[in-house]
Amino acid sequence: MSTLNIEKGTSRHSAYDLRDPFSEVQETHTLAVVVDNEAGVLARVIGLFTARGYNIDSLTVAEIDHTGHRSRITIVTTGTPKVIHQIKTQLGRMVPVHDVHDLTAEGAHVSRELALLKVSGKGEARVEALRLADIFRANVVDSTLESFIFEITGTPEKVEAFAELMRPLGLVEVARTGVAALSRGPS
């Protein structure tokens, strides 16, 4: 009888986590960290990444509870499963940290990013920039005779794709907010 040829951990939708925690495959994870909203907390959390040489791909921070003085830090980072586990464990041990959620590992989540892009151009380049903005559902938030500023919201991949298409049309400057993410469902 032949054995089934099923790769371990190929589906994140499986009820069982079959991924090898010791693999050297780099994975991107979105972490949601609830912390006390006080001076120096962000520096301590970021210091954890700096001290161990971990990279942060995206960082977003905002106060979520005014009366409880709590903030939410959304961090997108890349590493092996072992490194991601180590990051979550070390974040959980920090005193000002209340909760650490790995949105990537916990299941379906929604992540969005806001970006502003300044595109300078005349003639046909302006028309093409407006046409592409319409396709990507980007809004014009400022316009002069020689430039536009577009506002786009979506996944980081969508924002990057829009920026790449605007580059040959006269992309001058980009400002991105970083990823904001929430897990799907009631909890």
Burial of 33 (0-12, 13-18, 19+ CB in 10 A): buried
- Comma-separated ranges of CATH 3.30.70.260 domains in the chain: 27-107
- pLDDT tens digit string along 116-151? 999 999 999 999 999 999 999 999 999 999 999 999
Confidence class of residue 15 from pLDDT cuts 50, 70 and 90? low
Q: How far apart are CA 59 and CA 78, in angstroms?
A: 13
Length of the chain: 187
Residues 6 or more apart in contact with residue 99 via CB below 8 angstroms: 32, 33, 34
For the chain, strand residue ranges (E) read 27-36, 56-65, 70-79, 97-102, 109-120, 139-143, 147-154, 171-176, 180-183
The answer to whether residue 6 scores a pLDDT higher than 70 is no
Residue 18 has pLDDT above 70, yes or no: no
Handedness of CA 65, 60, 92, 14 (dihedral sign): positive
How much is the pLDDT for 25?
87
pLDDT at 84: 92
User: What percent of the chain is modeled with pLDDT above 70?
Assistant: 87
Query: pLDDT confidence of 3, banded at 50, 70, 90?
Result: low
Query: What CATH class is the domain 110-183?
Result: alpha beta
Query: Where exactly does CATH 3.30.70.1150 map onto the chain?
Result: 110-183
pLDDT in tens, 52-108: 889 999 999 999 999 999 999 999 999 999 999 999 999 999 989 999 999 999 989
pLDDT the model gives residue 2 = 47
Helices 41-52 & 81-93 angle (0-180, nearest 10): 150
Nearest to 130 by CA among 175, 157, 176, 166: 166
pLDDT attached to residue 104: 92
CATH topology of domain 27-107: Alpha-Beta Plaits (3.30.70)
According to DSSP, the residues that pair with 148 across neighbouring strands are 119, 143
Q: pTM for this one?
A: 0.78
For residues 163-169, give the mean pLDDT: 96
